[in-house]
Amino acid sequence: MCDTLVAVDTATADGTVILAKNSDRQPNEAQMLVHVPRARHEAGATVKCTYIEIPQVEETYELLLSQPFWIWGCEMGANECGVAIGNEAVFTKEPYGKEPGLIGMDFIRLALERAGTARQALDVIVELLGTYGQSGNCGFRNEEYYHNSFIIADPGEAWVLETAGEFWAAERVRDVRTISNGLTIGGEWDMASPGLVEHAIEKGWCKSADDFHFARCYSDFLYTRLDGCRARRRRSTGLLEEQRGSITAETMMAALRDHGPQAAADPAWNPSRGVLMDTICVHASLGPLRPSQSTGSLVAHLSPDLPTYWLTGTSAPCTGVFKPVYLGGAGLPDLGPDPTGDYDPDSLWWTHEQLHRAVIRDYAARMPLYRGERDALEAEFLSKAAGMRAKYRGANEEERAEPLVAFTASCFERAAEAAARWSESVSSAPVQRRPPRLFTMAWDKFDQQAGFA
């Protein structure tokens, strides 16, 4: 389960487009940050996606991906042209293909590799969907099958694309827009697949074109109700609407860390509360209704002069730090070995789990121990990033690459040093209020499965 948010120029403080996403996946499904250089490919070359090979294109763009370790595609990412995409699992009445094929995360990477604008990326996904369909297991330890929706943005515009099997509808974002794990487009759209309305009428999901509503006709009622998507989308939309016209990257970071109105009003709130996945920043628990947690986060500030990609590279944005990354000759510092589903203290993702999993054992008492220092560190990064944009506006890639590389590396290094201190202080703090037994049992099991120490 996931949430993707976007605000276009009319809604942001500086007139840019800003996209944000939390990727919610299984608790030990480590997510890694990946930099892929621009490349040229020989005629007749193919590309191996998660399950299948398809024809490669002549040239692919430079990419930045936040990627579940076992998947070729990504949950969210961006390319050198400033195109950024996030996807959501959606549950529909159309049958799910279980044979190996293209999955939603593959569509994102393929679109980022091949498209220089948001509209071109939409067209790439739609063309691939028509050629190959969407099918295949999308789960790590537990099999999961679903269809996909996307928010696709660039420095000039953003689009929502929602699919149900081979059918789809798309609308251009006019202000702010959020999606969770349910279809949202209704009776109006900017583009749609042929036969979208006629198929619904044939299936008896509506009586006529006048009665057609994409989300109502195509959504699977049970799963869409149980995944908590409606509560999350109401909350994410409300948070953006409250700040329409003044939305910044910080606004988006705060939204991705949000645990809902109850948590905002109650200092004693802890992540064991609740049954459904109905908060934007979500923590897994025991049982089938909350099997996932936020395992990676992105805020893409798509300034046309110098897009800045703020990534945690870690789970639970409420416990982590957003760090700036740039494309165009900059890329990522050394983040240690690529993570897997097994605990590795040398990888960025699993190193943070030492802090995250200690915090959630007594969230109300332990999170305040370092939240203020974390916020101050992040504010410093944001201030320096604004200075970078001002200083290197109009500079070519060669002029700005070295200082951007150094800045990104410094931010990751300082965040890692701080996280090590925080982990030590949090782990040594006495537990004042233990979570309920079922929550503790769930995390004991997750730790055991990963060999987490």
Q: How far apart are CA 280 and CA 20, in angstroms?
A: 11
Known catalytic residue: 2? yes
Catalytic residue among 2, 81, 138, 318: 2
In this structure, is the dihedral angle defined by the CA atoms of residues 346, 347, 352 and 357, taken in order, positive or negative?
Answer: negative
Sign of the CA dihedral 305, 56, 119, 253? negative
* Residue 26 structure tokens: 């299984």
What are the C-alpha distances in Å from 204 to residues 93, 162, 191, 218?
A: 12, 21, 23, 11
**101 CB burial (10 A radius; 0-12, 13-18, 19+):** middle
* Structure-token pair, residue 170: 């798309």
The answer to whether the CB of 305 falls within 8 A of the CB of 14 is no
* SS3 of 173-228: CCCEEEECCCCCCCCCCCEECCCHHHHHHHHCCCCCHHHCCHHHHHECHHHHHHCC
- What is the rounded distance in angstroms from the CA atom of residue 117 to the CA atom of residue 45? 24
Amino acid in the structure at residue 392: Y
**In contact, 106 and 73? CB cutoff 8 Å:** yes
Active site residues: 2
